[in-house]
Amino acid sequence: MCWKLWLIWIVVILGLTTMPWENYVGHSHWDLVNWIPFNDHRFAVEDLLANIALFVPFGFFLGRALSGSSRKRVWTLTLLLSATLSTSVELFQVYCHNRNPSTTDICTNLLGAVVGALLSTPH
């Protein structure tokens, strides 16, 4: 069941982070990328908390789905898969108007996934 919840949550993440789809224009806006984490001109605590909260279920459901695995495997897969998903979303946003791709978003998404994985594993 946790695998299904994890996959559903990936769809939720993709939907929330890529909409509105009419903003996709097919040409890049690399000049809008904020390359230095936590040095964004639009730095807002609400945005940071939203990114963390969005990825907590990702890490939680993945951690539960991998409950029979070693902690190292859970942590490794959580970091690799959340980094892949988060980076993919930010790269998609490079090709959208009115979106600001940011390494800060990647970092906070990873933090959220790690928090979720931590909450899913017994201490």
Given a contact cutoff of 8 angstroms between Cβ atoms, the answer to whether 104 and 40 are in contact is: yes
On whether the pTM is more than 0.85, the answer is yes
**What's the pLDDT at 42?**
63
Write the single-letter amino acid at 69: S
Alpha-carbon distance 85 to 9, whole Å? 12
Bridge partners, residue 102, by sequence: 34
Into how many domains does the chain fold?
Answer: 1
- Give per-residue pLDDT as tens, 27-68: 998 988 888 888 866 668 888 999 999 999 999 999 999 988
Of 8, 40, 34, 11, nearest to 101 (Cα)? Answer: 34
The residue range of the domain holding 17 is: 2-120
Distance of CA 121 to the CA centre of its chain: 20
